[in-house]
């Protein structure tokens, strides 16, 4: 059931990501971007990364996507410009195909091993033998054996937020200060960039 | 992991295909950043290590800063040119 939901969320997130980059109007693109964020947040929450999933919804949808929508509505873009853009869409397709194929080749060179997985075959064979002889089934070919989040809670019952807070505020406190400076820069920078000195009343 | 690689590729393709629309460029950058953060979070979950999630929180803050500065630049560009088209 859980795996089916994860597959469904994967499929719909990829579909909405494709719809983001092919959308004709920027407002539609931002709405599908919100759909991607919701799908990925649901994926994380289903896996067990609850806090970051909720932070995704809060930060990405509540701040970034709303900022995008606000800027798009403030800029008052005409639809004629966008349909002019759509005519030149086909010109970049060869470059896109080249870059995508090279990048996926480079990634698959490192991550996906092309060798046949013999160890898995052997364990699956032993599972079959065990099942025939003794009636014992093992869940070793289940995908979730490496992703079991309840391993943490066997000895000490920590909440996830407790662990994250202990790491954030004790051993990684300097980075927190650094991030606060980055956010301060992100506040001051756009104010100075968009300050209109000629038309201001002073 | 395959999901994040796919999302990153879609972000790069959007960056290449929509080179005339600056808002879609920023949206594609946001999509790529999301894919990278997602890969870090999935890897931290697979290795059962919480430091990846702390790193994810930092990246979320940096993504907010990046989008704020990028949209500020878009508004300044619109004020200079009167249009957001890139020649």
Domains of chain A are: 1-91 (1.20.120.1200)
Q: Do A21 and B17 touch (CB under 8 A)?
A: yes
Q: Contacts of residue A107 in chain B, CB cutoff 8 Å?
A: 5
pLDDT for A98 beyond 70 = yes
Say if B87 falls within a structural domain. no
Give the closest residue to A49 by CA, choosing from B63, B27, B37, B2: B37
Q: Do the chains contact at B85 and A85, CB–CB below 8 Å?
A: yes
pLDDT at A113 over 60: no
As a whole number of angstroms, the distance between CA A106 and CA B9 comes to 12
* Residue B13 located in a structural domain: yes
User: What pLDDT does B65 receive?
Assistant: 92
d(CA B9, CA B33) in angstroms, rounded, equals 11
- The answer to whether position B61 is within a domain reads yes
Is residue B62 included in any domain, yes or no? yes
Residue B64 belongs to some domain of the structure: yes
In this model, does residue B60 exceed pLDDT 70? yes
Please measure the distance between the N-terminal and C-terminal CA atoms of chain B and give it in whole angstroms: 37
| Residue B30 placed within a domain | yes
d(CA B48, CA B77) in angstroms, rounded, equals 45
Tell me if B28 is assigned to some domain: yes
Q: Cβ contact (<8 Å) for A56 and B9? A: no
pLDDT at B4 over 90: no
Question: Residue B86 falls within a domain, yes or no?
Answer: no
Angle at A28 between CA A26 and CA A30, to 5 degrees: 70
DSSP class of residue B48?
T
Rounded Cα–Cα distance for residues A119 and A110 (Å) = 20
* Strands, E assignment, chain A: none
Averaged pLDDT for residues A96-108: 82
Question: Is the pLDDT reported for residue A95 higher than 90?
Answer: no
Residue B9, CA distances (Å) to A28, B22, B31, B66 in order? 20, 19, 10, 20
A-chain CB neighbours of B5 within 8 Å are 104, 107, 111
The ipTM is 0.91
pLDDT per position as a tens digit, A20-38: 888 878 888 999 999 999 9
Distance CA(A42)–CA(A185), nearest Å, equals 31
Encode pLDDT of A143-199 as tens digits. Answer: 444 444 455 455 555 677 888 888 888 888 899 999 999 999 999 999 998 887 776
A103/B50 Cβ within 8 A: no
Averaged over B11-33, what is the pLDDT? 86
Give the count of domains, chain B: 1
- pLDDT at position A16 is 93
Query: Cβ separation of A21 and B54 shorter than 8 Å?
Result: no
Whole-angstrom Cα distance, residue A121 to residue A134? Answer: 20
Query: What is residue A107's predicted lDDT score, i.e. its pLDDT?
Result: 76
- pLDDT at residue A142 greater than cutoff 50: no
CATH number, domain containing residue B42: 1.10.287.3510
- Are the C-beta atoms of residues A50 and A160 closer than 8 Å to each other? yes
**Whether the predicted model's global pTM rises above the 0.90 cut:** no
Distance, CA of A140 to CA of A127 (rounded, Å)? 8
Containing structural domain, residue B36: 2-81
Please say if the pLDDT value at position A15 is more than 90. yes
Nearest CB to B45 within list A47, A104, A179: A47
Across all residues in chain A, what is the average pLDDT?
A: 77
Q: What ranges in chain B are assigned the alpha helix state H?
A: 2-17, 22-47, 51-81
CA distance B87 to chain A (A): 11
Query: What number is the average pLDDT over the span A26-55?
Result: 90
């Amino acid at each position: 059931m859980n795996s089916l939901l994860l597959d469904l969320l994967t499929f719909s997130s990829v579909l909405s990501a494709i719809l983001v980059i092919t959308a004709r109007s920027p407002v539609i693109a931002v709405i599908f971007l919100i759909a991607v964020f919701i799908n990925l947040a649901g994926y994380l929450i289903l896996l067990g990364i609850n806090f970051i999933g909720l932070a995704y919804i809060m930060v990405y949808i509540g701040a970034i996507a709303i900022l995008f929508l606000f800027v798009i509505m403030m800029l008052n873009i005409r639809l004629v410009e966008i349909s002019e853009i759509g005519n030149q869409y086909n010109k970049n397709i060869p470059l896109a195909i080249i870059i995508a194929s090279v990048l996926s080749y480079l990634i698959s060179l490192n991550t996906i091993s092309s060798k046949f997985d013999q160890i898995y075959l052997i364990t699956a064979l032993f599972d079959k033998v065990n099942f025939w002889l003794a009636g014992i089934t093992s869940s070793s070919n289940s995908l979730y054996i490496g992703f079991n989040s309840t391993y943490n809670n066997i000895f000490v019952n920590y909440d996830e937020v407790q662990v994250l807070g202990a790491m954030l505020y004790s051993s990684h406190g300097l980075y927190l200060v650094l991030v606060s400076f980055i956010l301060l820069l992100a506040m001051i920078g756009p104010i100075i960039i968009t300050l209109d000195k000629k038309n201001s009343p002073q | 992991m395959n999901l994040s690689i796919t999302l990153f590729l879609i972000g790069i393709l959007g960056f290449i295909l929509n080179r005339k629309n600056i808002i879609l460029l920023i949206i594609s950058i946001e999509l790529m950043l999301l894919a990278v953060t997602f890969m870090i979070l999935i890897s931290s979950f697979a290795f059962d290590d919480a430091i990846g999630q702390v790193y994810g929180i930092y990246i979320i803050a940096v993504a907010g800063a990046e989008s704020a500065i990028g949209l500020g630049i878009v508004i300044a560009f619109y004020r200079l040119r009167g249009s957001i088209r890139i020649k």
